[in-house]
Amino acid sequence: MKSQLYSEDPGAGRPADPILQGGRCRCGYVFFPMQVYGCERCGSRGNALTPQPLSTRGTLLASALVHLHADKSRPAPFTIVKVALDDGPVVRTLLADDSCDIVPGQRMTAKLVSLQRDDGETVFDLRFVAAG
């Protein structure tokens, strides 16, 4: 799991609802992921930027179906989505279920998907699904 990006409540071998690890500047700007290098709006840095858990719900802005990937070990096709979170930041990640039809403006929600690595370890990755 990418703990600098999201976390979950530990539970009996299955992923819980994710919590996105974002941030907020004292000017009110909300961003993802959390970082301390400087606010994109006002330039403040350091202690002006504080951790802020973010909503895992948002609105689909765009999607793209990838038929061929440079990494031959990544099976295609897969869908990349761009989601505007209800808290403000825009997130790009994979669609959890490529078989569902999605359209811009549709409500989406994040979930953690379990994946099996080559070494046999189970890891969780953040994906989006159509809400509902």
Tens-digit pLDDT profile for residues 42-95: 999 999 999 999 989 999 999 999 998 888 777 889 999 999 999 999 999 999
Q: What is the CA radius of gyration of the chain?
A: 16
Write out 57-93 in H/E/C secondary structure: EEEEEEEEEECCCCCCCCCCCEEEEEEEECCCCEEEE
Side chain identity, residue 78: F
Q: What is the mean pLDDT of the chain?
A: 86
Give SS3 for 48.
helix
